[in-house]
Amino acid sequence: MELVCEKYKEKFDSEKAVCRRPTEYCKFRSACLLHFLGREKAGEEQKTARNLDGKSN
12 and 34 Cβ atoms separated by less than 8 Å: yes
Contacts of 10 (CB under 8 A, 6+ apart): 4, 20
Residue 16: which domain range? 2-53
Question: What is the rounded CA–CA span in Å between residue 38 and residue 13?
Answer: 12
- Amino acid 25: pLDDT: 95
Q: How many domains does the chain have?
A: 1
- Runs of H (alpha helix) within 1-57: 33-53
**1-57 tens-digit pLDDT:** 889 999 999 998 888 888 889 889 999 999 999 988 888 888 877 777 777 766 655
- Amino acid 57: pLDDT: 52
Contacts of 20 (CB under 8 A, 6+ apart): 5, 10
Question: What is the rounded CA–CA span in Å between residue 12 and residue 34?
Answer: 8
- Amino acid 9: pLDDT: 93
Q: Does the model's pTM come out above 0.75?
A: no
